[in-house]
Amino acid sequence: MGFLSACTVLVTVPFFLAQQHRPGQQLPAGVSMLQAGPQQVWSAMKSIRHLKQVFLYLVAYFMLQESEYRFPTL
């Protein structure tokens, strides 16, 4: 375990030191950081009506989660 941890550190530290800065997504003009998240959620909720397979996927996901087999306890 110690050997693998040392190998991981030896490989990843140079990678992070050599990595260049990559700027993220810019905020729209007039929008604070606190408003950006709820604004994106609202935009996604408006466009979800046009994606019919999303509802099918969500229904199938929850149905499969409910049908998970649980071993009986002794």
pTM of the full structure = 0.41
Tokens matching residue 61: 């996901």
* Alpha-carbon torsion, ordered 61, 40, 36, 29, to 10 deg: 160
The pLDDT tens digits of the residues spanning 2-61 come to: 999 999 999 999 998 998 888 888 888 888 889 988 988 898 888 877 777 877 888 888
- When pLDDT is cut at 50, 70 and 90, the band that residue 72 belongs to is low
Measure the CA–CA gap between 25 and 52, rounded to whole angstroms: 28
CA distance 58 to 34: 28
The maximal CA–CA distance of the chain, rounded, in angstroms, is: 61
